[in-house]
Structure 1
Amino acid sequence: MSEKKQKEIAKLLADLLIAEYRKTSERWARIPDLAGIHGDAPRCRAQVTSVEGRRVFMMTRPEWERFRAHEGKLVEIDLERSPAGSLGEAASAIASLTAEYSVHTERIEVWRYHMKNPATPENVHDYLILENLSRHVNVPMFAERASTQDSPKLRKHLREHVFIVKARPDKGRWEAKARALERIVFLST
């Protein structure tokens, strides 16, 4: 490929990156100042685990609907680590594997609230929303890849829960704490 073509491609890619950065900045600039909020945020519950470097949050459908109703506002999430060997951990492993394929229906951006650090494209993370996985994936194949067993209980769990999976794996190792309270703001993209 000629040097001229390489420069054209490099410029096009740079322009795309800059445009995406600006769009993200503009989206998050509309979020109101949250510095004075303490204790007024709605609270949701989720289980969390880490699978192959991806954080996977699992919520019941009613909890997801409550969470989703607060887009663009501060939300507290009471996190509990999925117990090792549990149905939730197996389902989260399937969700993490599924994230590699385009079966998600929606994306959100998440900013972990820090009073001193406003949301910027550098500290906003992309997550995939995976709903009703038992209808969208080959459960026996994904169960085998996740080193678990396909069962009616697993299928029911995949149907009754919503999985919020980090779009790109983290570098290094991340382990969920036994319990934690996260304060976040999210936007649909």
Structure 2
Amino acid sequence: MRHIGWIAGTAAAALVAAGAITYAVAEDTGSTAKVPTADSADAGFARDMAVHHQQAVEMSYIVRDRTKNEEVRRLAYDIAQTQANQRGMLLGWLDLWGAPKVSADPPMTWMSMEDMPSGEDGALMPGMATDSELKKLDTLEGEQADILYLQLMTDHHRGGIHMAGGCVAKCTVGVEKRLAQGMVDAQQSEIELMTTMLEERGAKPRD
């Protein structure tokens, strides 16, 4: 039953947001506009960022149970809520376009990022934590959990910004490009906040 409270809240919000954004996308593309194909940047970004966001939500649930620090818990809640909502939007667009939510192609092919390896031990895309890092986070308590979470989420946001910037450059659906730009702006602001929070704990972001 772990995480049920947060999951219920974020899931409900995501459903509402996804419904609203589906209408926005339909209006934005217009009835005669070309629907993005399964191999387009629009669909690729939606698929990959939905997976990327899911890990951020998972990490935020983990740290919520490992710390009593209200500042960290509040940040984790905000990240979980925002990214669950956005994930609902991304998956809603794929449904609207009739595009698959899972692709046989490796992640990031829509960005032509052959120079960016998938990573090791479960790190699928830029900034994503590895399986061993997630397991470690789930064993820590208090300030140690705070520091690792802030470091992992900083890395995660850096990768997310890179991906969202790619959509801003390559996606064709206006409302999706605007959402991607909003991700860039919001996550950069959160990186600055997390850097300050790490400094207050005698730590810093990882190189």
Pick the TM interval, shorter chain.
Answer: under 0.3
Q: Taking structure 1 as the reference length, what is the TM-score of the superposition?
A: 0.26
Flag the structure with larger Rg. Answer: 1
Between the two structures, name the one with larger relative contact order (CA 8 Å, sep ≥ 6): 1
| Bigger strand fraction | 1
Higher helix proportion:
2
